[in-house]
């Protein structure tokens, strides 16, 4: 059986910006045309290594999440349709840095690897001074 995923080692890197105490979605998808296309994948901290994920924070078996380090890490998309975008809730400054989404495609050097650079900023407060009215 052959799956329909391209047989090449795909790497890309994108900057994603989030705000402290908010949720952020780190995008990662792969094409799924039928159940044979479903495959294991993992999310890890740091750049994508030669195989698997460094500092793994979440893993699926292609159909569902089978391990995660924290409930702050969630897959809210349709995993069985290839949406394995990672949502991190309660973002904090320790979350900044590189994240690797690795789709494990069967065969040598076929994995899809997406490296995302998460930048975390404090929320910006809008200051609107109240008008001062004289007391009559």
Structure confidence by residue, pLDDT tens digits, 55-114? 999 999 999 999 999 999 999 999 999 999 999 999 999 999 999 999 999 888 899 999
- pTM (predicted TM-score): 0.81
Sheet holding 73-75, edge to edge: 24-26, 86-88, 73-75
Structure confidence by residue, pLDDT tens digits, 13-65? 789 999 999 999 999 999 999 999 999 999 999 999 988 999 999 999 999 99
Q: Burial of 89 by CB count in 10 Å (0-12 exposed, 13-18 middle, 19+ buried)?
A: middle
Q: Does domain 12-121 have CATH number 2.60.40.10?
A: yes
Contact 53, 100 (CB under 8 A): yes
């Amino acid at each position: 059986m052959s799956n329909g995923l391209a047989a090449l080692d795909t790497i890309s890197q994108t900057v994603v910006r989030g705000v402290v105490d908010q949720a952020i979605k780190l995008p990662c998808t792969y094409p799924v045309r039928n159940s044979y296309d479903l495959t294991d994948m993992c999310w890890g901290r740091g750049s994508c290594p030669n195989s698997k994920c460094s500092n793994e924070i979440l893993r699926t078996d292609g159909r569902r999440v089978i391990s995660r380090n924290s409930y702050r890490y969630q897959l809210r998309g349709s995993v069985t349709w290839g949406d394995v975008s990672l949502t991190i809730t309660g973002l904090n400054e320790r979350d900044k840095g590189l994240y690797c989404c690795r789709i494990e495609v069967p065969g040598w050097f076929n994995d899809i690897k997406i490296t995302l650079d998460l930048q975390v900023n404090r929320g910006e407060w809008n200051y609107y001074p109240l008008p001062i009215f004289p007391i009559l």
